[in-house]
């Protein structure tokens, strides 16, 4: 039970602070990290306080964020983003269908969250500023595409580690991704489009 508290405690506490007490996410997570350090020592699981703060500063993550922002700025400066959005806005297809297809395709092509987010989110932001439904559609369909592609590094590592078959693993991920898409689409359509 101690291991469960130490493993899930920070996640549950952060969630409660954010949802129940309306604390900003960054502040909630910072408070939880600081509050749980003494708890680890109390449970006789000492940790390096320095490593708690230094290991969370991932250079690759910062590099990815910088690259995504650079990519978005590049699309904006050369006018490609505005042109794409104009074409989509003048299309006969609903915005939700366009964003769902784009997210799924780029999720399959890139196999990583940063890929489809960097490509699709600027389009969503220009097509419908502040539309959280389109953001949700982009995230869910992009994740589904990411989970059914052999370019997804996590699937490749899992297959290698557990010595499973690639297409059988992708098939199982595909079933769960389809279920996720169906539930999300039904709920979103019922909640926002009826």
Q: Are 170 and 148 in contact (CB under 8 A)?
A: yes
The verdict on 40 and 72 lying in the same domain is: no
The residues near 149 (Cβ < 8 Å, ≥ 6 apart) are 107, 108, 109, 111, 155, 170
Other CB atoms closer than 10 Å to residue 142's CB: what's the count? 28
What average pLDDT does the segment 159-183 reach?
Answer: 93
The verdict on 98 and 44 lying in the same domain is: no
> What local confidence, expressed as pLDDT, does residue 111 receive?
87
The CA radius of gyration of the chain, in Å to the nearest whole number, is 20
- The Cα-based distances of 93 to 6, 78, 147 in angstroms read 48, 26, 26
Whether residue 43 lies inside any domain: the answer is yes
Taken in order 68, 69, 71, 76, the sign of the CA dihedral is positive
Whether residue 60 lies inside any domain: the answer is no
Other CB atoms closer than 10 Å to residue 116's CB: what's the count? 26
The verdict on 125 and 177 lying in the same domain is: yes
pLDDT bucket at 26, cuts 50 / 70 / 90: confident
Report pLDDT digits (tens) over 119-140: 899 899 989 888 999 999 999 9
pLDDT bucket at 118, cuts 50 / 70 / 90: confident
The verdict on 124 and 188 lying in the same domain is: yes
Whether residue 59 lies inside any domain: the answer is no
Report pLDDT digits (tens) over 2-25: 888 888 899 999 999 998 999 998
The verdict on 107 and 150 lying in the same domain is: yes
pLDDT bucket at 31, cuts 50 / 70 / 90: very high
pLDDT bucket at 142, cuts 50 / 70 / 90: very high
The verdict on 74 and 158 lying in the same domain is: yes
> What local confidence, expressed as pLDDT, does residue 146 receive?
94
The model scores a pTM over 0.75: no
The verdict on 46 and 83 lying in the same domain is: no
Find the domain containing 20 and state its range: 2-54
The residues near 41 (Cβ < 8 Å, ≥ 6 apart) are 47
User: How many domains are contained in the chain?
Assistant: 2
Q: What letter does residue 90 receive in the DSSP assignment?
A: T
Rounded percentage of the chain residues whose pLDDT exceeds 70? 99
* Residue whose token pair is 């589904």: 144
Other CB atoms closer than 10 Å to residue 110's CB: what's the count? 20
Alpha-helical regions (H) of the chain: 2-19, 25-42, 49-54, 59-77, 80-89, 95-110, 113-127, 132-147, 153-162, 166-188
Whether residue 62 lies inside any domain: the answer is no
> What local confidence, expressed as pLDDT, does residue 98 receive?
94
Whether residue 99 lies inside any domain: the answer is yes
Whether residue 101 lies inside any domain: the answer is yes
Q: Are 138 and 132 in contact (CB under 8 A)?
A: no
The verdict on 80 and 128 lying in the same domain is: yes
Whether residue 143 lies inside any domain: the answer is yes
pLDDT at residue 144 greater than cutoff 90: yes
The verdict on 18 and 80 lying in the same domain is: no
pLDDT bucket at 154, cuts 50 / 70 / 90: confident
């Amino acid at each position: 039970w101690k291991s469960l508290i130490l493993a899930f405690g920070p996640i549950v506490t952060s969630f409660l602070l954010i949802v129940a007490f309306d604390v900003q996410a960054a502040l909630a997570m910072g408070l939880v990290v600081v509050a749980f350090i003494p708890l680890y020592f109390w449970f006789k699981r000492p940790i390096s306080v320095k490593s708690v703060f230094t290991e969370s500063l991932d250079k690759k993550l910062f590099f990815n964020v910088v690259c995504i922002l650079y990519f978005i700025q590049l699309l904006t400066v050369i006018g490609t983003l505005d042109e794409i959005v104009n074409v989509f806005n003048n299309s006969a297809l609903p915005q939700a269908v366009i964003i769902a297809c784009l997210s799924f395709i780029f999720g399959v092509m890139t196999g990583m969250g940063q890929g489809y987010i960097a490509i699709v989110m600027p389009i969503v932001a220009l097509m419908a500023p502040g539309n959280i439904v389109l953001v949700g559609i982009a995230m869910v369909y992009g994740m589904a595409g990411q989970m059914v592609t052999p370019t997804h590094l996590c699937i490749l590592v899992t297959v290698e580690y557990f010595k499973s078959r690639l297409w059988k693993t992708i098939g199982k991920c595909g079933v769960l991704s389809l279920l996720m898409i169906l539930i999300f689409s039904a709920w979103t359509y019922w909640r926002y489009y009826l």
